[in-house]
A and B are shown apart, each in its own frame.
Chain A
Amino acid sequence: MEQQPIVELKNLSKTIGKKKIIDNLNLQLFPGQITGFLGPNGAGKTTTIRMMAGLMKPTGGEVVVEGQSLSDHFEETMSKVGVIVENPEMYKYMSGWKNLVHFARMNKSISKERITEVVEQVGMQNRIHEKVSTYSLGMRQRLGLAQALLHRPKFLILDEPTNGLDPAGIREFRTYLRKIAVEDGVSVFVSSHLLSEIELMCDRIAIIQNGQLINIREMNQVEEAHYYIEAQPAEKASELLIAQGLFIEASGTGFIAKVEQNQIPAIIEAMVSANLQVFAVQPFRKTLEDQFLEMTGGGQIAESHKK
């Protein structure tokens, strides 16, 4: 990646009491890229996000936005950042519109027209003048997104953004994020527990466990080619595949074989000439869930620490 990163976490650490919550985290986030942030409960996702949003101070290292340190240049850097931390808690006793006016006043020069534009972008124009206490969770999420976008941030931090959205809302949200990433070059950082969501939404994922970054990968990166092959009778098929020198693993009624793409035609030919009935030969990718569980070693919650 030859681009300059928008946001850089440099040796970011947070110690609370004697417990290291975040340990020397290094991460670069680039324009136009949506990065997913995954980790088991208690791994330090929220702490990391709060340090990036200026809500917590790191005990070591720094958050750098376009070359400026967040803690030294708070106002300049934060004006480039849009944040939704966990559920977007709004002032329930005011209308959605007044909430947006409130947040707009905390930035420099946001016009009424801009607020109207953002309200339309998130599809809230019909209910915007009603009190937030009458909104559903999904509508609050939309309002939360609206307040994060008001000042056209270059960097968007989203913590569990699709929580409470209906399927249509989730798809709309995903399309919208993709659009601002591609068209405006916004860098998006999304934390979520919904792995399938992250899989559909992100270009790249970062996985954190026990306060340390254990993996960063591009989503379209294929480390090893695997194919799913289904043919009958199964025993004959397995013999044939092993004879071809492939490493196979049974999966349902077929096999997962570790095989390069250019070998596939030869294998199909071999199976056909051996009079096997070939039902399927398709590229196989492990789901993100499988990979995630493999990497983080299952479901146990990270070691406890005092908040």
Chain B
Amino acid sequence: MLNLIRNEWMKLWHKKATWIMAGLLVIILIGITGISKWADDHTVQPPDQPTWKENAAERKAYLTAELANPNISDDTKKQLEEELTITEYRLTENVAPFEFSDREQNLMDSYQLLALVLMFAVIAAASIVASEFSQGTIKMLLSRPVKRWKILTSKYVTSLLYALALTIIALIANVIAGYIFFDAAGTGALLEVRGGEVVEISYWSRVLALYGLQLMGIVVFTTFAFMIGSVFRTSSLAIGLSIFLMFMGPNIVYFLRNYEFTKYIMFTHTDLTGYLTGNMFIPGITWPLSAAVLTVYVVLFLVISYWSFTKRDVTA
């Protein structure tokens, strides 16, 4: 199996597109950070900017008012209470949050740019099986003393490894961009409630957690593209369909958010970072539900891929 994965990895990196995608990723990520910094520097700030303390006091009043509302759900209530605890802690202990212009904050927000990684990982996963059919090399590949499920597994593992490699490249590019364009925070800390206590946590652990959650969504989309590529055996359809769904899926779900069944649609759960940032896209979903729904979808996609790849005749 290790040899098969080495083969797939070798073929992947001998394709120009693989290098182009990795290179573009670095250029675009650093470029976007640079542009946003430039735009920020050239925005004229109104003279009387509120200080963080004024903002925090305002937020505290808002949270207290929200908590007084009897109609809020338990989950929301818990979330608001935690935020209130942290806000009060900041005011009494005089601990400032990170500012937008801090390197730390920039890095913590950079997970949003991983959509690009998702797109490139989908392109690679969609073509890894389909390109063997379109080039005719599938005949060479399958007339070997290796069972088909092993070959497909090596291809799936390689697709995931590429997604992981792109995520790591993106993280490094974002760190580099952060060091080029932003300064470290003078004061400022990230706070979290742990066991009723407010503690200061490293922003790195937050960055890694956000990237990890994004990677899970990427894995789901990659598996979807992999399935379409191995069932229809054409990469263009797989790429097109996956990218279309990646952009349209969340919108469709948002549109239908008042229906119960949206809880069981994949797109409701593909952005897991909401569990950390508090910006939940569909209210009322929980960790176990997300984990279960995503697992079911991934297993389903894989079953279809394996069935199609091992049972069907090669006529290419």
**In the complex, A131 Cα to B146 Cα: how many Å?**
26
Q: Is the CB of B143 within 8 A of A81?
A: yes
Q: Is the CB of A76 within 8 A of B7?
A: no
Q: Is the CB of A78 within 8 A of B143?
A: yes
**In the complex, A86 Cα to B140 Cα: how many Å?**
10
Please give me the residue from chain A that is nearest to B8 by CB atom: A102
Please give me the residue from chain A that is nearest to B315 by CB atom: A307
Query: Number of A residues whose C-beta is below 8 Å from B?
Result: 35
Contact of A107 among B10, B14, B145 (CB under 8 A): B145
Chain A stretch 72-94: residues in CB contact (< 8 A) with chain B: 74-79, 81, 83, 85-94
Q: Is the CB of B6 within 8 A of A103?
A: no
**In the complex, A91 Cα to B141 Cα: how many Å?**
10
Q: Is the CB of B144 within 8 A of A55?
A: no
Nearest CB on B from A95, distance (A): 9
Nearest CB on B from A154, distance (A): 13
Q: Is the CB of B14 within 8 A of A106?
A: no
Q: Is B16 an interface residue (CB 8 A)?
A: yes
Stretch at the interface among B28-36, B131-139, B191-199: B131-139
Q: Is A54 an interface residue (CB 8 A)?
A: yes
**In the complex, A89 Cα to B134 Cα: how many Å?**
10
Q: Is the CB of B16 within 8 A of A93?
A: yes
Chain A residues positioned under 8 Å from B304 (CB to CB): none
Given A91-B11, A94-B11, A307-B315: A106 in contact with B135 (beta carbons within 8 A): no
Q: Is the CB of A50 within 8 A of B16?
A: no
Q: Is B142 an interface residue (CB 8 A)?
A: yes
Q: Is B57 an interface residue (CB 8 A)?
A: no
Contact of A55 among B10, B11, B142 (CB under 8 A): B142
Chain A residues positioned under 8 Å from B311 (CB to CB): 57
Q: Is A147 an interface residue (CB 8 A)?
A: yes
Q: Is the CB of A106 within 8 A of B7?
A: yes
**In the complex, A94 Cα to B7 Cα: how many Å?**
12
Chain B residues positioned under 8 Å from A83 (CB to CB): 139-140, 143
Q: Is A56 an interface residue (CB 8 A)?
A: yes
Q: Is the CB of B7 within 8 A of A105?
A: yes
Q: Is the CB of B10 within 8 A of A75?
A: no
Q: Is the CB of A106 within 8 A of B137?
A: no
Nearest CB on B from A92, distance (A): 7
**In the complex, A102 Cα to B12 Cα: how many Å?**
12
Given A105-B3, A105-B6, A106-B3: A55 in contact with B143 (beta carbons within 8 A): yes
Chain B residues positioned under 8 Å from A91 (CB to CB): 11, 14, 135, 137
Q: Is B314 an interface residue (CB 8 A)?
A: yes
**In the complex, A92 Cα to B143 Cα: how many Å?**
19
Q: Is the CB of A74 within 8 A of B147?
A: yes
Given A55-B143, A89-B137: A94 in contact with B3 (beta carbons within 8 A): no
Contact of A85 among B15, B16, B139 (CB under 8 A): B139
Nearest CB on A from B87, distance (A): 57
**In the complex, A78 Cα to B7 Cα: how many Å?**
19
Chain B residues positioned under 8 Å from A75 (CB to CB): 145-147
Q: Is A53 an interface residue (CB 8 A)?
A: yes
> 1/0 per position for A93-121, CB-CB distance to B under 8 A?
11000100111011110000000000000
Contact of B145 among A50, A55, A74, A102 (CB under 8 A): A74
Nearest CB on A from B3, distance (A): 4
Given A91-B14, A93-B15: A103 in contact with B315 (beta carbons within 8 A): no
Chain A residues positioned under 8 Å from B7 (CB to CB): 102, 105-106
Q: Is the CB of A54 within 8 A of B139?
A: no
Q: Is the CB of A147 within 8 A of B140?
A: yes
**In the complex, A77 Cα to B147 Cα: how many Å?**
11
Chain A residues positioned under 8 Å from B144 (CB to CB): 78, 103, 106-107
Please give me the residue from chain B that is nearest to A82 by CB atom: B143
Q: Is B67 an interface residue (CB 8 A)?
A: no
Contact of A79 among B14, B135, B145, B315 (CB under 8 A): B145
**In the complex, A108 Cα to B313 Cα: how many Å?**
25
**In the complex, A93 Cα to B127 Cα: how many Å?**
15
Chain B stretch 132-165: residues in CB contact (< 8 A) with chain A: 135-137, 139-147
26 example contacts (A-B, Cβ-Cβ < 8 A) are as follows: A50-B313, A50-B314, A50-B315, A53-B139, A55-B314, A56-B315, A57-B311, A74-B145, A78-B143, A78-B146, A81-B143, A83-B143, A85-B140, A86-B136, A89-B136, A91-B11, A93-B16, A94-B11, A101-B10, A102-B11, A106-B4, A106-B141, A107-B145, A147-B140, A151-B145, A307-B315
**5 tightest Cβ-Cβ pairs between the two chains A and B:** A89-B136, A79-B145, A78-B145, A105-B3, A55-B314
Residues of B within 8 A of A (CB): 3-4, 6-7, 10-11, 14-16, 135-137, 139-147, 311, 313-315
- Contacts A57-B311, A102-B7 supplied; 19 other A-B pairs, CB < 8 Å: A50-B313, A55-B139, A55-B314, A75-B146, A78-B143, A85-B140, A85-B143, A87-B136, A88-B140, A90-B137, A91-B135, A93-B16, A98-B10, A103-B144, A105-B3, A105-B4, A105-B7, A106-B7, A151-B145
